[in-house]
Amino acid sequence: MKISTILKNKKTARLLVVIFWIAIWEIASLVIGREVYLPSPLNTVRALLRLSVTSKFWYSIAMTFIRVVAGFIISCLGGIILGIMCGLIKFLYELLNPLVIAVKSTPVMSIIIIALIWFQSGRVPVFVCFLMCFPIIWTNAVEGIRQVNRDLLQMAKVYRVNKGLIIRRIYIPSVTPYLIAGITTALGIGWKVTVAAEVLSNPKFSIGGNLYGAKVYLESSELFAWTSIVIILSFAFEYLFKYIIGKIERKGF
């Protein structure tokens, strides 16, 4: 079978890409020859299996999951509502835009350290997730409103079209692609910053806390195992979101 024929199958192509990078990882581990620096894929899997039989493993994942979801939902609600309002009201945009730019420009570590002063350790990751995801969703919501076809709005006004119909047929189709793009981007960032906040705030049960513990005790295989969990969960979140959006679009909503 020709390589071009194999690559036409997306699932097969993706599997081959994953196998390729795992092979590179294995070769790099063999070349370095020090597990403390770069554990092999096999040892990482073994560490993952060893961790998975403990209740702490699953409870840590569950608590991090809750923090990510909480921070992300708050950022979505705030970003969409305020973004739409700012897209419609110029004064409100001019008022909030400097604050959003300031948040975007502030290093994540600075925000985490400030949050440590303000909140208890368990709430720090939620706050950081919200603050990092909010500007992305807000910016996309504002841009979506600004891209609404003004000619259509003018025509709707002339013919006195019902406001509900204007929202459903003009505003929503314009804003939706921007919101989907913003939410998809924020999903990946949400996991990264939440786990980073957990590393510093070190709540009792968290993926970030376990990452820090693995680093302290030089358990590199466990460090890579926990890191792989973050990657898998982040990918799964994004895939699930795209799948749901795809189902909705196919149904014509």
Question: Which pLDDT score is estimated for 74?
Answer: 92
Tokens of 243: 């799948």
CA distance to 108, 128, 133, 183, per residue, from 180 (Å) = 24, 21, 13, 5
Please provide the average confidence, as pLDDT, over all residues in the chain: 82
Question: Which pLDDT score is estimated for 159?
Answer: 64
CATH number of 47-251: 1.10.3720.10
Gap between the Cα atoms of 14 and 187, Å rounded: 21
- Exposure string (b/e) for 173-186, b if CB count within 10 Å is 16 or more? ebbeebbbebbbeb
Res 253 pLDDT > 60? no
